[in-house]
Structure 1
Amino acid sequence: MRAAAAPDGGQQALNPAYAAARTRLALVAALCLVAALGWVWSAHAMQGMDAGPWSALGTLGWFLGTWVVMMAAMMLPSVAPTIALYSRLTRARTPLAPWLFAGGYLLTWAAAGLAGYAIGATAHAVLGDTLSWERSGRMLAGATLLVAAVYELTPLKDVCLGHCRSPLGALLGSWRDGPLGSVRMGVRNGAWCVGCCWALMASLFALGVMSLTWMALVAAIIAVEKLLPWRRVVTYGTAALLLGLGLFLLTAPDALPGLTTPSGMTM
Protein backbone atom coordinates (compact mmCIF):
# COMPACT_ATOMS: atom_id res chain seq x y z
CA MET A 1 0.00 0.00 0.00
CA ARG A 2 1.29 3.44 -0.86
CA ALA A 3 2.21 5.69 2.05
CA ALA A 4 -0.11 8.40 0.75
CA ALA A 5 -3.05 6.12 1.41
CA ALA A 6 -2.54 6.31 5.16
CA PRO A 7 -5.06 8.74 6.67
CA ASP A 8 -2.55 10.11 9.16
CA GLY A 9 -0.10 11.21 6.48
CA GLY A 10 2.05 8.07 6.38
CA GLN A 11 2.54 7.13 10.04
CA GLN A 12 0.83 3.75 9.58
CA ALA A 13 3.16 2.91 6.69
CA LEU A 14 6.19 3.73 8.82
CA ASN A 15 5.07 1.82 11.92
CA PRO A 16 6.47 -1.62 10.86
CA ALA A 17 9.90 -0.11 10.26
CA TYR A 18 9.81 1.76 13.57
CA ALA A 19 8.76 -1.41 15.39
CA ALA A 20 11.60 -3.33 13.74
CA ALA A 21 14.07 -0.60 14.67
CA ARG A 22 13.04 -0.89 18.32
CA THR A 23 13.66 -4.63 18.28
CA ARG A 24 16.93 -4.34 16.37
CA LEU A 25 18.53 -1.57 18.42
CA ALA A 26 22.00 -3.08 18.19
CA LEU A 27 21.82 -3.15 14.40
CA VAL A 28 20.49 0.41 14.21
CA ALA A 29 23.21 1.57 16.60
CA ALA A 30 25.86 -0.18 14.47
CA LEU A 31 24.55 1.47 11.30
CA CYS A 32 24.55 4.87 12.99
CA LEU A 33 28.10 4.23 14.21
CA VAL A 34 29.19 3.50 10.63
CA ALA A 35 27.48 6.71 9.55
CA ALA A 36 29.25 8.66 12.32
CA LEU A 37 32.61 7.26 11.23
CA GLY A 38 31.70 8.33 7.70
CA TRP A 39 31.11 11.88 8.89
CA VAL A 40 34.44 11.92 10.73
CA TRP A 41 36.29 10.58 7.71
CA SER A 42 34.52 13.05 5.38
CA ALA A 43 35.41 15.98 7.64
CA HIS A 44 39.04 14.90 7.57
CA ALA A 45 39.23 14.09 3.85
CA MET A 46 37.42 17.24 2.70
CA GLN A 47 39.18 19.67 5.04
CA GLY A 48 40.04 22.79 3.06
CA MET A 49 38.51 21.41 -0.13
CA ASP A 50 35.26 23.40 -0.16
CA ALA A 51 35.64 25.25 -3.46
CA GLY A 52 31.95 26.08 -3.63
CA PRO A 53 29.48 25.12 -6.36
CA TRP A 54 30.80 22.69 -8.97
CA SER A 55 33.89 21.87 -6.88
CA ALA A 56 36.57 19.89 -8.71
CA LEU A 57 35.82 16.17 -8.35
CA GLY A 58 39.41 14.93 -8.53
CA THR A 59 40.34 11.56 -9.99
CA LEU A 60 37.66 8.93 -10.52
CA GLY A 61 39.07 6.59 -7.86
CA TRP A 62 39.34 9.31 -5.22
CA PHE A 63 35.88 10.70 -5.98
CA LEU A 64 34.17 7.31 -5.98
CA GLY A 65 35.74 6.30 -2.68
CA THR A 66 34.84 9.63 -1.08
CA TRP A 67 31.34 9.50 -2.54
CA VAL A 68 30.59 6.05 -1.10
CA VAL A 69 31.76 7.13 2.36
CA MET A 70 29.66 10.29 2.05
CA MET A 71 26.59 8.24 1.10
CA ALA A 72 27.15 5.94 4.07
CA ALA A 73 27.34 8.99 6.34
CA MET A 74 24.30 10.71 4.82
CA MET A 75 21.96 7.83 4.03
CA LEU A 76 22.47 5.03 6.57
CA PRO A 77 20.64 6.80 9.44
CA SER A 78 17.52 7.35 7.32
CA VAL A 79 17.55 3.84 5.83
CA ALA A 80 18.34 2.15 9.17
CA PRO A 81 14.64 1.38 9.95
CA THR A 82 14.28 -0.35 6.57
CA ILE A 83 17.42 -2.42 7.15
CA ALA A 84 16.15 -3.27 10.64
CA LEU A 85 12.83 -4.38 9.16
CA TYR A 86 14.66 -6.53 6.62
CA SER A 87 16.73 -8.07 9.42
CA ARG A 88 13.56 -8.89 11.34
CA LEU A 89 11.97 -10.50 8.28
CA THR A 90 15.03 -12.65 7.63
CA ARG A 91 15.22 -13.53 11.34
CA ALA A 92 18.12 -15.89 12.02
CA ARG A 93 18.78 -17.07 8.46
CA THR A 94 22.10 -15.28 8.30
CA PRO A 95 23.58 -12.55 10.52
CA LEU A 96 25.22 -11.02 7.45
CA ALA A 97 21.92 -10.45 5.61
CA PRO A 98 21.34 -6.84 6.81
CA TRP A 99 24.94 -5.90 6.02
CA LEU A 100 24.70 -7.43 2.55
CA PHE A 101 21.49 -5.46 2.10
CA ALA A 102 23.29 -2.27 3.17
CA GLY A 103 26.14 -3.10 0.80
CA GLY A 104 23.73 -3.47 -2.11
CA TYR A 105 22.08 -0.18 -1.13
CA LEU A 106 25.43 1.64 -1.19
CA LEU A 107 26.32 -0.10 -4.47
CA THR A 108 23.38 1.65 -6.13
CA TRP A 109 24.54 5.00 -4.79
CA ALA A 110 28.06 4.23 -6.05
CA ALA A 111 26.57 3.74 -9.52
CA ALA A 112 24.71 7.04 -9.17
CA GLY A 113 27.96 8.77 -8.15
CA LEU A 114 29.72 7.25 -11.16
CA ALA A 115 26.99 8.63 -13.43
CA GLY A 116 27.32 12.06 -11.81
CA TYR A 117 31.08 12.00 -12.28
CA ALA A 118 30.68 11.06 -15.94
CA ILE A 119 28.23 13.93 -16.50
CA GLY A 120 30.54 16.41 -14.79
CA ALA A 121 33.64 15.24 -16.64
CA THR A 122 31.82 15.33 -19.98
CA ALA A 123 30.44 18.82 -19.35
CA HIS A 124 33.91 20.06 -18.39
CA ALA A 125 35.49 18.48 -21.49
CA VAL A 126 32.85 19.81 -23.89
CA LEU A 127 32.02 23.22 -22.43
CA GLY A 128 35.22 24.10 -20.59
CA ASP A 129 35.17 27.59 -19.03
CA THR A 130 31.63 28.24 -20.23
CA LEU A 131 30.37 26.80 -16.95
CA SER A 132 32.77 28.76 -14.75
CA TRP A 133 31.22 30.67 -11.86
CA GLU A 134 31.92 34.05 -13.48
CA ARG A 135 30.10 33.04 -16.67
CA SER A 136 27.26 30.49 -16.52
CA GLY A 137 28.13 28.59 -13.33
CA ARG A 138 25.98 30.63 -10.95
CA MET A 139 22.99 30.51 -13.29
CA LEU A 140 23.35 26.75 -13.68
CA ALA A 141 23.64 26.26 -9.91
CA GLY A 142 20.52 28.32 -9.30
CA ALA A 143 18.64 26.52 -12.05
CA THR A 144 19.64 23.16 -10.56
CA LEU A 145 18.06 24.12 -7.25
CA LEU A 146 14.89 25.30 -8.99
CA VAL A 147 14.65 22.01 -10.90
CA ALA A 148 15.10 20.14 -7.61
CA ALA A 149 12.26 22.18 -6.09
CA VAL A 150 9.95 21.33 -8.98
CA TYR A 151 10.90 17.64 -8.83
CA GLU A 152 9.73 17.50 -5.21
CA LEU A 153 6.16 17.98 -6.48
CA THR A 154 6.23 15.50 -9.38
CA PRO A 155 4.42 12.12 -9.48
CA LEU A 156 7.75 10.29 -9.92
CA LYS A 157 9.10 11.77 -6.70
CA ASP A 158 5.86 10.82 -4.97
CA VAL A 159 6.09 7.21 -6.14
CA CYS A 160 9.75 6.82 -5.15
CA LEU A 161 9.21 8.48 -1.78
CA GLY A 162 6.21 6.22 -1.20
CA HIS A 163 8.42 3.14 -1.57
CA CYS A 164 11.03 4.63 0.77
CA ARG A 165 8.39 5.44 3.38
CA SER A 166 6.59 2.08 3.02
CA PRO A 167 9.45 -0.40 3.29
CA LEU A 168 7.33 -3.42 4.25
CA GLY A 169 5.46 -3.49 0.95
CA ALA A 170 8.62 -2.70 -1.01
CA LEU A 171 10.53 -5.56 0.66
CA LEU A 172 7.80 -8.17 0.36
CA GLY A 173 7.14 -7.20 -3.25
CA SER A 174 10.75 -7.87 -4.29
CA TRP A 175 11.80 -10.63 -1.93
CA ARG A 176 14.87 -12.68 -2.83
CA ASP A 177 16.46 -15.42 -0.70
CA GLY A 178 20.11 -16.05 -0.04
CA PRO A 179 23.15 -13.77 0.22
CA LEU A 180 22.86 -12.66 -3.40
CA GLY A 181 19.19 -11.97 -2.79
CA SER A 182 20.11 -9.68 0.11
CA VAL A 183 22.41 -7.68 -2.15
CA ARG A 184 19.79 -7.54 -4.92
CA MET A 185 17.12 -6.30 -2.51
CA GLY A 186 19.50 -3.66 -1.21
CA VAL A 187 20.21 -2.57 -4.77
CA ARG A 188 16.49 -2.35 -5.50
CA ASN A 189 15.81 -0.34 -2.35
CA GLY A 190 18.73 1.91 -3.25
CA ALA A 191 17.24 2.46 -6.70
CA TRP A 192 14.02 3.77 -5.19
CA CYS A 193 16.11 5.99 -2.92
CA VAL A 194 18.10 7.36 -5.86
CA GLY A 195 14.84 8.10 -7.65
CA CYS A 196 13.65 9.92 -4.55
CA CYS A 197 16.83 11.87 -3.78
CA TRP A 198 18.77 12.43 -7.03
CA ALA A 199 17.61 16.05 -7.28
CA LEU A 200 18.71 16.73 -3.70
CA MET A 201 22.12 15.28 -4.53
CA ALA A 202 22.30 17.48 -7.62
CA SER A 203 21.55 20.40 -5.30
CA LEU A 204 24.51 19.34 -3.16
CA PHE A 205 26.78 19.63 -6.21
CA ALA A 206 25.25 23.04 -6.97
CA LEU A 207 25.92 24.30 -3.44
CA GLY A 208 29.30 22.65 -2.83
CA VAL A 209 29.72 18.88 -2.72
CA MET A 210 32.83 19.26 -0.53
CA SER A 211 31.02 21.41 2.04
CA LEU A 212 30.12 19.67 5.30
CA THR A 213 27.50 22.36 5.95
CA TRP A 214 25.54 21.67 2.77
CA MET A 215 26.17 17.94 3.09
CA ALA A 216 24.57 18.01 6.55
CA LEU A 217 21.62 20.08 5.31
CA VAL A 218 20.87 17.69 2.44
CA ALA A 219 21.22 14.67 4.76
CA ALA A 220 18.80 16.28 7.21
CA ILE A 221 16.26 16.96 4.45
CA ILE A 222 16.47 13.34 3.28
CA ALA A 223 15.98 12.01 6.81
CA VAL A 224 13.02 14.32 7.43
CA GLU A 225 11.35 13.29 4.16
CA LYS A 226 11.74 9.58 4.89
CA LEU A 227 11.10 9.43 8.61
CA LEU A 228 8.66 12.13 9.71
CA PRO A 229 4.95 11.29 9.43
CA TRP A 230 3.74 14.61 7.97
CA ARG A 231 4.48 13.68 4.39
CA ARG A 232 2.78 16.49 2.48
CA VAL A 233 4.00 19.18 4.85
CA VAL A 234 7.55 17.90 4.55
CA THR A 235 7.39 17.64 0.75
CA TYR A 236 6.07 21.16 0.26
CA GLY A 237 8.45 22.50 2.88
CA THR A 238 11.42 20.94 1.07
CA ALA A 239 10.24 22.36 -2.25
CA ALA A 240 9.90 25.82 -0.70
CA LEU A 241 13.38 25.60 0.84
CA LEU A 242 14.99 24.57 -2.46
CA LEU A 243 13.08 27.28 -4.29
CA GLY A 244 14.32 29.90 -1.81
CA LEU A 245 17.91 28.70 -2.06
CA GLY A 246 17.74 28.75 -5.85
CA LEU A 247 16.33 32.26 -6.00
CA PHE A 248 18.91 33.55 -3.54
CA LEU A 249 21.70 31.91 -5.53
CA LEU A 250 20.44 33.57 -8.71
CA THR A 251 19.70 37.03 -7.31
CA ALA A 252 21.58 37.54 -4.04
CA PRO A 253 24.17 34.81 -3.35
CA ASP A 254 25.65 36.89 -0.53
CA ALA A 255 22.42 36.19 1.38
CA LEU A 256 23.40 32.52 1.73
CA PRO A 257 25.58 32.09 4.82
CA GLY A 258 28.31 29.53 4.35
CA LEU A 259 28.30 29.66 0.56
CA THR A 260 31.83 29.55 -0.80
CA THR A 261 32.46 30.92 -4.26
CA PRO A 262 34.82 29.02 -6.57
CA SER A 263 37.34 31.83 -6.16
CA GLY A 264 37.75 30.72 -2.55
CA MET A 265 36.02 33.74 -0.99
CA THR A 266 33.24 33.02 1.47
CA MET A 267 30.21 35.20 0.86
Structure 2
Amino acid sequence: MESSALEAALRRDRLLVLGGLGVVIALAWSYLLLEAASMARMGAMLMPMEPEVRTPAETALLLVMWMVMMAAMMLPGAAPMLLLHATLSRRRRGQGQGAAATGIFALGYLTTWALFSVLAVALQSMLERAALLSPAMAMSSLVAAATVLIAAGLYQWTPLKEACLHHCRSPLEFVLTHWREGASGAFLMGLRHGLYCVGCCWVLMLLLFVGGVMNLVWVAGLALWVLIEKLAPAGRWLSRGLGFVLMAWGAATLWLAFT
Protein backbone atom coordinates (compact mmCIF):
# COMPACT_ATOMS: atom_id res chain seq x y z
CA MET A 1 0.00 0.00 0.00
CA GLU A 2 2.78 2.43 0.92
CA SER A 3 4.51 1.76 -2.39
CA SER A 4 1.28 2.35 -4.32
CA ALA A 5 0.66 5.59 -2.43
CA LEU A 6 4.21 6.75 -3.16
CA GLU A 7 3.89 5.98 -6.86
CA ALA A 8 0.59 7.85 -7.00
CA ALA A 9 2.20 10.83 -5.27
CA LEU A 10 5.12 10.73 -7.71
CA ARG A 11 2.76 10.72 -10.70
CA ARG A 12 0.84 13.62 -9.20
CA ASP A 13 4.06 15.56 -8.62
CA ARG A 14 5.21 15.00 -12.20
CA LEU A 15 1.86 16.19 -13.53
CA LEU A 16 1.95 19.26 -11.30
CA VAL A 17 5.51 20.14 -12.36
CA LEU A 18 4.81 19.61 -16.07
CA GLY A 19 1.51 21.45 -15.84
CA GLY A 20 3.06 24.35 -13.97
CA LEU A 21 5.93 24.55 -16.44
CA GLY A 22 3.53 24.46 -19.37
CA VAL A 23 1.43 27.28 -17.93
CA VAL A 24 4.42 29.50 -17.12
CA ILE A 25 6.08 28.91 -20.51
CA ALA A 26 2.80 29.52 -22.38
CA LEU A 27 2.17 32.74 -20.46
CA ALA A 28 5.73 33.93 -21.07
CA TRP A 29 5.54 33.34 -24.83
CA SER A 30 2.08 34.91 -24.95
CA TYR A 31 3.50 38.01 -23.28
CA LEU A 32 6.33 38.18 -25.82
CA LEU A 33 3.91 37.75 -28.72
CA LEU A 34 1.73 40.56 -27.40
CA GLU A 35 4.75 42.83 -26.97
CA ALA A 36 5.99 42.07 -30.48
CA ALA A 37 2.52 42.71 -31.93
CA SER A 38 2.29 45.98 -30.01
CA MET A 39 5.67 47.10 -31.36
CA ALA A 40 4.61 46.17 -34.90
CA ARG A 41 1.37 48.17 -34.57
CA MET A 42 3.11 51.23 -33.21
CA GLY A 43 6.03 50.92 -35.62
CA ALA A 44 8.39 51.88 -32.81
CA MET A 45 10.57 50.38 -30.12
CA LEU A 46 9.24 49.09 -26.85
CA MET A 47 11.58 51.56 -25.16
CA PRO A 48 12.94 54.91 -26.32
CA MET A 49 16.32 54.92 -27.94
CA GLU A 50 17.61 57.83 -25.82
CA PRO A 51 18.56 56.57 -22.37
CA GLU A 52 18.18 60.01 -20.87
CA VAL A 53 14.43 60.07 -21.59
CA ARG A 54 13.73 56.59 -20.23
CA THR A 55 11.73 56.83 -17.05
CA PRO A 56 12.10 54.41 -14.10
CA ALA A 57 8.76 52.87 -15.10
CA GLU A 58 10.00 52.29 -18.65
CA THR A 59 13.21 50.75 -17.34
CA ALA A 60 11.15 48.47 -15.10
CA LEU A 61 9.05 47.39 -18.10
CA LEU A 62 12.20 46.65 -20.08
CA LEU A 63 13.51 44.58 -17.19
CA VAL A 64 10.21 42.68 -17.01
CA MET A 65 10.45 41.97 -20.74
CA TRP A 66 13.94 40.52 -20.32
CA MET A 67 12.94 38.44 -17.30
CA VAL A 68 9.91 37.00 -19.09
CA MET A 69 12.00 36.30 -22.18
CA MET A 70 14.61 34.44 -20.12
CA ALA A 71 11.89 32.34 -18.50
CA ALA A 72 10.37 31.54 -21.90
CA MET A 73 13.74 30.53 -23.33
CA MET A 74 15.33 28.67 -20.41
CA LEU A 75 12.54 26.83 -18.57
CA PRO A 76 11.99 24.17 -21.29
CA GLY A 77 15.61 23.03 -20.95
CA ALA A 78 15.29 22.91 -17.16
CA ALA A 79 12.34 20.49 -17.28
CA PRO A 80 14.40 17.27 -16.75
CA MET A 81 16.11 18.78 -13.71
CA LEU A 82 12.82 19.96 -12.22
CA LEU A 83 11.15 16.57 -12.75
CA LEU A 84 14.08 14.76 -11.14
CA HIS A 85 14.08 17.16 -8.21
CA ALA A 86 10.37 16.56 -7.66
CA THR A 87 10.90 12.79 -7.67
CA LEU A 88 13.79 12.84 -5.22
CA SER A 89 12.05 15.40 -2.98
CA ARG A 90 9.07 13.07 -2.67
CA ARG A 91 11.21 9.98 -2.04
CA ARG A 92 13.49 11.48 0.59
CA ARG A 93 12.41 11.35 4.20
CA GLY A 94 11.13 14.66 5.46
CA GLN A 95 10.29 16.01 2.00
CA GLY A 96 6.55 15.45 1.87
CA GLN A 97 5.75 17.96 -0.85
CA GLY A 98 7.77 17.09 -3.93
CA ALA A 99 6.08 19.53 -6.31
CA ALA A 100 6.12 22.35 -3.76
CA ALA A 101 9.84 21.94 -3.11
CA THR A 102 10.45 21.90 -6.86
CA GLY A 103 8.50 25.12 -7.22
CA ILE A 104 10.95 26.71 -4.78
CA PHE A 105 13.84 25.20 -6.76
CA ALA A 106 12.41 26.76 -9.94
CA LEU A 107 12.12 30.12 -8.16
CA GLY A 108 15.82 29.97 -7.30
CA TYR A 109 16.64 29.01 -10.87
CA LEU A 110 14.67 31.93 -12.28
CA THR A 111 16.27 34.29 -9.77
CA THR A 112 19.66 33.81 -11.43
CA TRP A 113 18.15 34.63 -14.82
CA ALA A 114 16.42 37.66 -13.29
CA LEU A 115 19.85 38.88 -12.15
CA PHE A 116 21.19 38.24 -15.63
CA SER A 117 18.28 40.30 -16.99
CA VAL A 118 19.40 43.25 -14.84
CA LEU A 119 22.83 43.06 -16.49
CA ALA A 120 21.22 42.70 -19.93
CA VAL A 121 19.19 45.87 -19.40
CA ALA A 122 22.34 47.71 -18.32
CA LEU A 123 24.16 46.45 -21.43
CA GLN A 124 21.26 47.47 -23.66
CA SER A 125 21.36 50.96 -22.18
CA MET A 126 25.10 51.17 -22.88
CA LEU A 127 24.60 50.05 -26.48
CA GLU A 128 21.84 52.61 -26.95
CA ARG A 129 24.04 55.33 -25.48
CA ALA A 130 26.76 54.40 -27.97
CA ALA A 131 24.20 54.44 -30.82
CA LEU A 132 24.89 50.79 -31.58
CA LEU A 133 21.27 49.56 -31.51
CA SER A 134 18.66 49.90 -34.25
CA PRO A 135 14.96 50.55 -33.50
CA ALA A 136 14.52 46.74 -33.68
CA MET A 137 16.99 46.38 -30.78
CA ALA A 138 19.60 44.79 -33.05
CA MET A 139 23.19 45.93 -33.44
CA SER A 140 23.46 48.57 -36.15
CA SER A 141 27.24 48.17 -36.41
CA LEU A 142 28.57 45.26 -38.45
CA VAL A 143 31.83 45.38 -36.51
CA ALA A 144 30.01 45.15 -33.18
CA ALA A 145 27.82 42.30 -34.44
CA ALA A 146 30.86 40.45 -35.80
CA THR A 147 32.64 40.87 -32.47
CA VAL A 148 29.73 39.30 -30.58
CA LEU A 149 29.45 36.44 -33.08
CA ILE A 150 33.15 35.60 -32.90
CA ALA A 151 33.18 35.90 -29.09
CA ALA A 152 30.16 33.59 -28.83
CA GLY A 153 31.81 31.08 -31.17
CA LEU A 154 35.05 31.08 -29.20
CA TYR A 155 33.20 30.67 -25.90
CA GLN A 156 31.60 27.45 -27.18
CA TRP A 157 35.11 25.92 -27.02
CA THR A 158 36.14 27.13 -23.57
CA PRO A 159 36.52 24.83 -20.53
CA LEU A 160 34.01 26.97 -18.64
CA LYS A 161 31.35 26.39 -21.28
CA GLU A 162 32.04 22.65 -21.26
CA ALA A 163 31.96 22.43 -17.45
CA CYS A 164 28.69 24.36 -17.16
CA LEU A 165 27.10 22.41 -20.02
CA HIS A 166 28.11 19.15 -18.32
CA HIS A 167 26.18 20.13 -15.18
CA CYS A 168 23.16 21.16 -17.26
CA ARG A 169 23.24 17.84 -19.15
CA SER A 170 23.66 15.71 -15.98
CA PRO A 171 20.67 16.34 -13.69
CA LEU A 172 21.22 13.22 -11.58
CA GLU A 173 24.88 14.05 -10.92
CA PHE A 174 23.91 17.59 -9.97
CA VAL A 175 21.25 16.64 -7.43
CA LEU A 176 23.43 13.91 -5.90
CA THR A 177 26.37 16.28 -5.39
CA HIS A 178 24.46 19.48 -4.50
CA TRP A 179 21.41 18.22 -2.62
CA ARG A 180 20.17 20.39 0.26
CA GLU A 181 17.20 19.73 2.51
CA GLY A 182 14.28 22.02 3.19
CA ALA A 183 12.77 24.99 1.39
CA SER A 184 15.90 27.12 1.71
CA GLY A 185 17.96 24.19 0.44
CA ALA A 186 15.70 23.83 -2.63
CA PHE A 187 16.05 27.55 -3.34
CA LEU A 188 19.85 27.42 -3.02
CA MET A 189 19.97 24.37 -5.29
CA GLY A 190 17.94 26.28 -7.86
CA LEU A 191 20.30 29.23 -7.58
CA ARG A 192 23.34 27.00 -8.07
CA HIS A 193 21.83 25.20 -11.04
CA GLY A 194 20.84 28.56 -12.50
CA LEU A 195 24.40 29.81 -12.17
CA TYR A 196 25.65 26.81 -14.16
CA CYS A 197 22.96 27.50 -16.75
CA VAL A 198 23.91 31.17 -17.00
CA GLY A 199 27.55 30.14 -17.30
CA CYS A 200 26.59 27.83 -20.15
CA CYS A 201 24.33 30.19 -22.09
CA TRP A 202 25.13 33.82 -21.27
CA VAL A 203 27.09 34.47 -24.46
CA LEU A 204 24.36 32.85 -26.54
CA MET A 205 21.91 35.28 -24.94
CA LEU A 206 24.08 38.18 -26.15
CA LEU A 207 23.27 36.99 -29.67
CA LEU A 208 19.84 38.50 -29.06
CA PHE A 209 21.49 41.84 -29.76
CA VAL A 210 22.65 40.51 -33.14
CA GLY A 211 19.32 39.21 -34.42
CA GLY A 212 17.09 41.63 -32.52
CA VAL A 213 15.92 41.42 -28.92
CA MET A 214 12.25 41.28 -29.94
CA ASN A 215 12.73 39.24 -33.14
CA LEU A 216 10.69 36.28 -31.91
CA VAL A 217 11.88 33.98 -34.69
CA TRP A 218 15.45 34.64 -33.54
CA VAL A 219 14.44 34.28 -29.87
CA ALA A 220 12.72 30.96 -30.57
CA GLY A 221 15.72 29.73 -32.57
CA LEU A 222 18.09 30.45 -29.70
CA ALA A 223 15.70 28.82 -27.23
CA LEU A 224 15.54 25.71 -29.42
CA TRP A 225 19.32 25.60 -29.64
CA VAL A 226 19.67 25.81 -25.85
CA LEU A 227 17.24 22.88 -25.58
CA ILE A 228 19.24 20.85 -28.12
CA GLU A 229 22.54 21.52 -26.34
CA LYS A 230 21.09 20.30 -23.05
CA LEU A 231 19.09 17.30 -24.23
CA ALA A 232 20.56 15.95 -27.48
CA PRO A 233 22.88 12.92 -27.09
CA ALA A 234 25.64 14.71 -29.01
CA GLY A 235 24.97 18.07 -27.41
CA ARG A 236 28.60 18.69 -26.49
CA TRP A 237 29.82 18.25 -30.07
CA LEU A 238 26.88 20.16 -31.50
CA SER A 239 27.84 23.00 -29.18
CA ARG A 240 31.37 23.04 -30.55
CA GLY A 241 30.06 22.81 -34.10
CA LEU A 242 27.96 25.88 -33.46
CA GLY A 243 31.14 27.59 -32.28
CA PHE A 244 32.70 27.09 -35.72
CA VAL A 245 29.54 28.37 -37.43
CA LEU A 246 29.40 31.49 -35.26
CA MET A 247 33.10 32.26 -35.79
CA ALA A 248 32.74 31.84 -39.57
CA TRP A 249 29.62 34.00 -39.55
CA GLY A 250 31.43 36.63 -37.52
CA ALA A 251 34.45 36.58 -39.84
CA ALA A 252 32.19 36.99 -42.88
CA THR A 253 30.37 39.88 -41.20
CA LEU A 254 33.69 41.51 -40.35
CA TRP A 255 34.81 41.13 -43.97
CA LEU A 256 31.61 42.83 -45.13
CA ALA A 257 32.20 45.67 -42.68
CA PHE A 258 35.52 46.55 -44.31
CA THR A 259 34.63 46.02 -47.99
TM-score scaled by length of structure 2: 0.78
**Aligned pair partner of 2:26 in 36, 39, 57:** 36
CA distance in 2, matches of 1:83, 1:236: 26
Higher alpha-carbon Rg: 2
Distance 1:148 1:100, change over 3 A: same
Aligned: 1:118 with 2:107: no
Distance 1:49 1:144, change over 3 A: farther
Distance 1:121 1:191, change over 3 A: same
In structure 1, what is the equivalent of residue 75 of structure 2?
Answer: 76
CA distance in 2, matches of 1:179, 1:109: 20
**Aligned pair partner of 1:93 in 89, 96, 104:** 96
TM-fit CA distance, 1:116: 2.0
CA distance in 2, matches of 1:36, 1:145: 30
Q: Determine helix, strand or coil for the equivalent of 2:96.
A: coil
CA distance in 1, matches of 2:252, 2:61: 32
TM-fit CA distance, 1:124: 4.4
Alignment of 1:53-68 (within 5 A): 59-68=58-67
Do the aligned residues in 1 keep the contact of 2:86 with 2:101 (CA within 8 Å)? yes
**Aligned pair partner of 1:46 in 36, 59, 63:** 36
In structure 1, what is the equivalent of residue 4 of structure 2?
Answer: none
CA distance in 2, matches of 1:32, 1:251: 43
TM-fit CA distance, 1:137: 2.2
Deviations 1:221-261 (A, max 9, x none): 100000011134311232133234434544569xxxxxxxx
In structure 2, what is the equivalent of residue 106 of structure 1?
Answer: 110
Distance 1:154 1:202, change over 3 A: same
Q: Determine helix, strand or coil for the equivalent of 1:93.
A: coil
TM-fit CA distance, 1:82: 0.3
Distance 1:229 1:204, change over 3 A: same
Q: Determine helix, strand or coil for the equivalent of 2:157.
A: coil
More off after superposition, 66-75 vs 25-34: 25-34
In structure 2, what is the equivalent of residue 3 of structure 1?
Answer: none
TM-fit CA distance, 1:101: 0.9
Deviations 1:34-85 (A, max 9, x none): 2122111111013254889xx9596321122111211121111110010000
Do the aligned residues in 2 keep the contact of 1:221 with 1:238 (CA within 8 Å)? no
More off after superposition, 206-215 vs 31-40: 31-40
In structure 2, what is the equivalent of residue 15 of structure 1?
Answer: none
- Identity within the alignment, %: 39
Q: Determine helix, strand or coil for the equivalent of 1:209.
A: coil
Q: Which runs of 5+ in 2 are unaligned?
A: 1-9
CA distance in 1, matches of 2:26, 2:217: 15
In structure 2, what is the equivalent of residue 192 of structure 1?
Answer: 196
Do the aligned residues in 2 keep the contact of 1:28 with 1:81 (CA within 8 Å)? no
Aligned: 1:137 with 2:141: yes
TM-fit CA distance, 1:162: 0.4
Write the letter of the residue equivalent to 2:158.
T
Q: How many residue pairs were aligned?
A: 228
**Aligned pair partner of 1:216 in 209, 215, 220:** 220
Do the aligned residues in 1 keep the contact of 2:109 with 2:193 (CA within 8 Å)? yes
Aligned: 1:182 with 2:186: yes
Q: Which has the higher contact order (CA 8 A, sep 6+)?
A: 1
Q: Determine helix, strand or coil for the equivalent of 2:22.
A: helix
Q: Which runs of 5+ in 1 are unaligned?
A: 1-19, 254-267
CA distance in 2, matches of 1:44, 1:185: 33
